[in-house]
Amino acid sequence: MNVASNARLSLARGQTDMAGFELLNPKGLWLLTALVPLVVFYILKIRRQQVRIGSTWLWAASQRDLLAKQPFKRLIAEVPLFLQILALVALALALARPAVRGARIEGDHVAFVIDTSASMATRSRSVVPGIAEPTRLHEAQHAATEALAALAPGADAFLLEAAREPRLVGPVSRDEQQLRAAVSSLVVREVEGDLASAVALAADRLRALGGKKRLIVLTDGALADPKPLVAAGVDVQVITVGTDEDNAAIVRIDVRAGLDPSTKREQVQVFAMLRNYGARPRDTFVTVAIAGASNTLASRRVLLPANDKTPVVLTFEPSVLDRGQGLVVQLAPSDALPMDDVAYGRVPQGLRMPVTLASSASYSWLHRALESDPNVDLQKLTLAELATVNVDPEALVVIEGACPAVVPGRDLVVMAPPAESVCAGLDIGKRVEGPMLTSWEAGDPRLRFLTLDGVHVTTATELKAQGSGASLVRSSASTLIADASTPGRTVTILGFDVADSDWPLKASFVLFTRNVVELARLHRAQGAAGPSRTGEPLRLAVPAGTQTVTVEGPGMPSREVSAKLGFAVVSGIERAGFYRLRWTSPRVGDALVAANLTSERESDIRPRTVLFEAGAATTTTAKAATESHNEWGSWLALLATCLRGGHWTFASISTP
């Protein structure tokens, strides 16, 4: 840093210090009115005694005063008057209590960690200059700005924000204006916070620097993880913001398609878990509406017990146009933290599950089992048509006797793939005769509520399944049914044709088919990405062959992300709401994904003590930190005493 920049920095620091100067008791300045009688006493003529003298020549001036008609004389600057005026001014200023706001923060290197998690959006009852409706983050920003003004001359600082992931906001700097701009740029992230990671990162960066190090943490104390923080080797000061506020939140949401038990018509069922963190019961309304629509589809008045959870179910009959639309669940009236009073979902596509069966066989047991399900829309294609005919992107696709490289739809079932090949990343071995079933994964949702005892298979191909849970049904020598799922897509491979077994004659075959369909229906109801939480990567299932996906959402510009093997990952989801994802190859498609905060720990906005290992931290409130002062009153009172003593000394010396 050159001389000019140092001069500018000193000037900026000086302006800041002057701006922080104030009088804590301005009424003390009324003592300055005593200057008027003091001066009057010095210019007022006094009554003189008559004394007989030998000559009046030496007393000519006094004689003129006696002969003057005015009662006042000309003010002459005298040392006693000057000393008394200074003493009176010093005493008046001492009574007015002059002070500079903010105590000096000692340290060569200072790190600021500011909590920007969702709870920092809680409305604050503190007064923040320039903010009409302040939040806890505004309060923290104001306290950080005051702390920047109190940095020791020559100290540098850097800023870290603590949201789901710690983020460095700007480089290490001595420029107070640059640091202030970095503080003011912070916004609340609608995520569950992780203050421990940000504190650990700041402490690591400080330990790499020489000199005296200091860490200042600004948070509301409503931490999602209550474990003690670690900042060994660094002086830590915690500045807490916010007060205890009542809050209610939607901490879980699920949207399903179902049937009205009385009318037997299809309905949408919205399950919401509400939690009241307040010490008193709360009366609230829960409403459900289509995103962007003014009318309410369903509502319910609920009395939430104090500090307890309450489940709520809302239902409505959807129209054809409602399918796949965004759904908004809301609590009213709003409270101190509005962002967790809203949750988002998607209207299910319906109970009838689209299933596409691709087979060259004239008769299929799977076709018969699927056709018997009244809630299945079955599409029968040949293997050649599978690549040319439009298939619902969320359909369950069943393929018999083949395993194409590119398969449309979502979930996939492959029966009897070609021997000695690769299917969905799984190696297919040679054919074996008469394998005997030995065990199966009863905990897998595709095999629940069934038993394979008494099932015989005449011929099958070996499935070389690897990894925990990949082998669903096993024989004495190999795997007969394997799981080859990828993120966002469930893939089930049967190493034999069910026609080469007596399984279709068992009830377990029908149960297996229904389980596979129900699992696909669940994935379809959850949407292209399933349940998504803010702060976590959004995992999106896209058609195989898709290379790029365009993402649009609240608080983020439109951007493209790469897709591979029918899967895309979108990071940076920091706001709750709806995200629209679009792709153009191998066919045009889109998906609507809802992201929610839904965090019981983050919605608990009650301030708590921030703990550090070994207790190596001092804690103060933001109000106490911003209202702390360095007063000069005692020094000015001492100065007034010294001046008064000087006046007495001078008077005693000059008096004959």
423 in any annotated domain? yes
Q: What is the per-residue pLDDT for 182?
A: 95
Tokens describing residue 15: 């302006």
Confidence band, pLDDT 50/70/90 cuts, at residue 243: confident
| Residues 644, 504 share a domain | no
Pick the last residue of a domain from 296, 327, 346.
Answer: 346
| Residues 508, 433 share a domain | yes
| Residues 488, 440 share a domain | yes
Reduced 3-state DSSP string for 178-242: HHHHHHHCCCCCCCCCCHHHHHHHHHHHHHCCCCCEEEEEEECCCCCCCCCECCCCCEEEEEECC
555-611 pLDDT tens trace: 888 999 998 877 788 888 899 999 999 998 877 888 888 999 999 999 999 888 888
Which residues, in sequence order, are bridge partners of residue 84?
none
Confidence band, pLDDT 50/70/90 cuts, at residue 542: confident
As for how many domains the chain has, the answer is 5
Confidence band, pLDDT 50/70/90 cuts, at residue 320: confident
Q: Is the peptide bond before 586 cis (omega within 30 degrees of 0)?
A: yes
Interatomic CA distance for residues 548 and 89, integer angstroms: 76
401-452 pLDDT tens trace: 999 988 888 899 999 999 999 999 899 999 999 999 999 999 999 999 999 9
- Is 583 in a helix, a strand, or coil? strand
Overall average pLDDT of the 8-34 stretch: 55
User: Could you list the residue range(s) of the whole structural domain that residue 184 is in?
Assistant: 109-245+605-627
Interatomic CA distance for residues 232 and 229, integer angstroms: 9
Q: Which residue has the tokens 């306290």?
A: 143
410, 523 Cβ separation under 8 angstroms: yes
53 in any annotated domain? no
Overall average pLDDT of the 263-284 stretch: 93
Pick the last residue of a domain from 292, 323, 346.
Answer: 346
Overall average pLDDT of the 230-254 stretch: 90
Contacts of 352 (CB under 8 A, 6+ apart): 375, 376, 377
645 in any annotated domain? yes
Q: What is the per-residue pLDDT for 61?
A: 58
CA distances to 124, 221, 245, 273, 284 from 280, rounded to whole Å, are 20, 22, 11, 18, 13
Q: Of 195-199, 362-366, 416-420, 524-528, which gets the smallest average pLDDT? A: 524-528
pLDDT at 262 over 50: yes
Tokens describing residue 478: 């190999």
576, 342 Cβ separation under 8 angstroms: yes
Q: What is the pTM of this model?
A: 0.72
Q: What is the per-residue pLDDT for 342?
A: 96
Q: What is the per-residue pLDDT for 19?
A: 41
Average predicted confidence (pLDDT) for the chain = 84
83-129 pLDDT tens trace: 777 777 777 776 766 666 555 677 789 999 999 999 999 998 888 88
Which residues, in sequence order, are bridge partners of residue 273?
252, 311
pLDDT at 343 over 90: yes
Tokens describing residue 336: 């101190």
| Residues 229, 375 share a domain | no
Which CATH number characterizes residue 392's domain? 3.40.50.880
pLDDT at 509 over 70: yes
Q: What is the per-residue pLDDT for 569?
A: 87
Q: What is the per-residue pLDDT for 59?
A: 61
pLDDT at 58 over 90: no
Q: Quick one: the chain helix, strand, coil %, rounded to 5?
A: 30, 35, 40
Q: What is the per-residue pLDDT for 10?
A: 38
189 in any annotated domain? yes
CA distances to 3, 12, 34, 109, 175 from 7, rounded to whole Å, are 6, 9, 41, 20, 11
478-493 pLDDT tens trace: 899 999 987 678 999 9
| Residues 209, 146 share a domain | yes
Number of residues assigned to the chain: 656
Overall average pLDDT of the 457-465 stretch: 94
Overall average pLDDT of the 222-248 stretch: 89
| Residues 519, 414 share a domain | yes
Interatomic CA distance for residues 637 and 641, integer angstroms: 6
Q: What is the per-residue pLDDT for 15?
A: 38
| Residues 124, 170 share a domain | yes
Q: What is the per-residue pLDDT for 430?
A: 93
| Residues 113, 254 share a domain | no
Which CATH number characterizes residue 554's domain? 2.60.40
Question: Looking at per-residue confidence, does 298 or 71 come out higher?
Answer: 298
Question: Looking at per-residue confidence, does 398 or 11 come out higher?
Answer: 398
